[in-house]
Amino acid sequence: MKTKIAVLVSGGGTNLQALIDAQQSGIIKSGEIKLVISSKEGVYALTRAENAGIDRLVIERKGNPDFEKQLIAALEENGIELIILAGFMCILSEKFTSRFANRIINVHPSLIPSFCGAGYYGLRVHEAALEYGVKVTGATVHFVNEIPDGGKIIFQKAVEIKEGDTPEVLQRRVMEEAEWKILPAAAEKVSYDIMKSKGN
């Protein structure tokens, strides 16, 4: 039995698309994306899920005191075994992360432990790398625990910083050369490990 995957999104869903493409091309074969949950209405990630025939759900984060409770209910109702955060702009509580220990993975656009933790997300990560003058950046896929970007690292891939890079140019290169490669690879690895642990 394939591992049942939910992908949590908050925006355009480029990393979700990389996962969908990897599933369709057979890179992800031990798991199957069963559900896409967005923390807000009207984001393009939901259209990507619809186009791929994947069930979608919106659980509004803003002004919702029961957000995590509703999230847990949706995940458990659907028998989800692996949660992938793909541009999911919400910090999850320890109560949530401990409930799904070693079952939540996230991609972060730097080589952890550099440029990570609270406040480091989106373009801010790439701005910081350029401000600091590092020559190499990259992306990291890691397990999620109660510390932002603090869980065990699964995969990392380095990306060269080039002369004249802007944060936007660098963001795109990190996505193309690192995030879109290691996130599907990690999804397959963890799906396989979960499948094996069930004795399949």
Cite the active site residues: 108
CA dist., res. 75 & res. 58, Å (int): 12
Q: Which residue has the tokens 């984001």?
A: 43
CA dist., res. 134 & res. 125, Å (int): 12
Give the SS3 label for residue 38: strand
Instruction: Give 101's contacts (C-beta < 8 A, 6+ positions apart).
Output: 145
Instruction: Give 137's contacts (C-beta < 8 A, 6+ positions apart).
Output: 109, 110, 111, 114, 115, 126, 129, 158, 159, 161, 170, 174
Give the SS3 label for residue 79: coil
Beta strand pairing call for 55-58 and 104-108: unpaired
